Homo-oligomer: A and B are copies of this chain.
Amino acid sequence: MHKPAKVTIEDVAAAAGVSRQTVSRVINNGPNVKPAVRQRVEAMVEQLGYVPNLSARRMGGARSYLILSINDRARTFENWTSGRGNDWVDQMLYGGMSECERHNYHMVLELIDTDAGTTIPQIARAVGSLRPDGVILTPPHCDNLELVAWLERQGIPCARVGHYEGGNFVDVFMDDEGAMREVTRHLLDLGHRSIGFLAGPLNYGPSQKRRKAFREALAEAGIPPEAGPIGAGNFYFDMAVSVLETMLAAPSPPTAIIADNDKMAFAALHVAADRGLKVPDDLSVISFEDTPGVRFSVPPLTAIRQPTAAMVGKACAQLIALSKGEEGMGAFELPYEFVVRATTKAPRG
């Protein structure tokens, strides 16, 4: 059976002996089609192998069936080229594509620079050419006020991953403060009385929340601020190393380190080895990320597993609902996991 290269709605209409609006109603599950007619049309769609052309639907005024997912360009490329894997993107695609599949949507990933002057023009290009039904913003783009305002002006529904505000957005996030409290308490319960936090950059929303929760948890336990140093990291290995060196050179250095991401946790492992500190015997380490490398590191890291796939999946679901004219805006919290592996233990002595 050699099907013609391009079957259009007109072909189906002719084959079924109806007008093209009727076919349109059938494929869009519209009302007002006699069951017998609907069946006849469906049979023809099947037989001719008709698939509606997305561009034409779009031009006709329908939705685009496209979700545009925006990631930090430089960081994503960096992860890819370093060959260290890119679990965040993997999980994002996993969650997003699974959800999009279910609704016959397509997810397109675009990498956008974070420089002040280029972000908006780049997104404008992507949005203008693709005209997606919704845009998913991940850190740090989701915290870019100017960008978010621009998107709002364009009237494009926007989901933010790792942002809490809600309002006229689809915000999906995990309880960063709760996670930090849980992690800090875990260390306190083990007996640690001096804990260092290797924090991420200040413009990362979640990092801010974690800083706050970290301070609070220590304060509640009666630990003085000096015994809870916060090192300002940038999520990269090298800087984390030097910050750690300083932290550990203090008169009464921390016996445990909480790292805001994996690379910095690895840095902690590295620095510990350099100084002859055994992990977890001499130094406990916890990561706030849980990529494959972490699970297979030696020793395997105790870590917070972020619900990346679930967050992005939820973002897609809400954006798709919105595009159908349903309700969808709001703030949605997804559960994280705290995975205790082999890098935390009671301090010596």
Task: Please report A residues at the B interface, Cβ cutoff 8 Å.
Answer: 2, 5, 49-56, 58-59, 64-65, 77, 79-81, 83-87, 89-91, 93-94, 97-98, 101, 104, 106-111, 124-131, 153-155, 290-293, 295-298, 309
Cβ-defined contact, B94 with A77, below 8 A: yes
Cβ-defined contact, B97 with A111, below 8 A: yes
Cβ-defined contact, A295 with B83, below 8 A: yes
Cβ-defined contact, B54 with A129, below 8 A: yes
Chain B neighbourhood of A104, CB < 8 A: 125, 129
Shortest beta-carbon distance from A164 to chain B in Å: 26
Q: How far is the CA of A49 from the CA of B122 in the complex (A)?
A: 11
List the 6 closest pairs (A to B, CB-CB), nearest first: A51-B128, A80-B94, A55-B55, A85-B85, A85-B292, A55-B58
Cβ-defined contact, B128 with A53, below 8 A: yes
Cβ-defined contact, A51 with B89, below 8 A: no
Q: How far is the CA of A286 from the CA of B299 in the complex (A)?
A: 24
Question: Given B50, B85, B298, which contacts A90 in the complex, CB threshold below 8 Å?
Answer: B85
CB-CB nearest in chain B for A87: B85
Q: A89-B93, A97-B111, A106-B108 are in contact. Are A129 and B296 (CB under 8 A)?
A: no
How many copies of the polypeptide does the oligomer hold?
Answer: 2
Q: How far is the CA of A292 from the CA of B79 in the complex (A)?
A: 11
Q: How far is the CA of A50 from the CA of B125 in the complex (A)?
A: 9
Chain B neighbourhood of A98, CB < 8 A: 77
Cβ-defined contact, A51 with B81, below 8 A: no
Shortest beta-carbon distance from A109 to chain B in Å: 7
Shortest beta-carbon distance from A159 to chain B in Å: 19
Shortest beta-carbon distance from A82 to chain B in Å: 9
Chain B neighbourhood of A65, CB < 8 A: 129
Q: A85-B90, A89-B93, A296-B296 are in contact. Are A131 and B80 (CB under 8 A)?
A: no
Cβ-defined contact, A131 with B55, below 8 A: yes
Q: A86-B90, A124-B49 are in contact. Are A54 and B130 (CB under 8 A)?
A: yes
Q: List 19 A-B contacts (CB under 8 A).
A: A50-B128, A53-B129, A54-B55, A55-B58, A55-B64, A79-B90, A80-B90, A80-B94, A80-B309, A83-B292, A83-B295, A85-B291, A85-B292, A85-B293, A89-B93, A90-B90, A97-B111, A101-B111, A296-B297
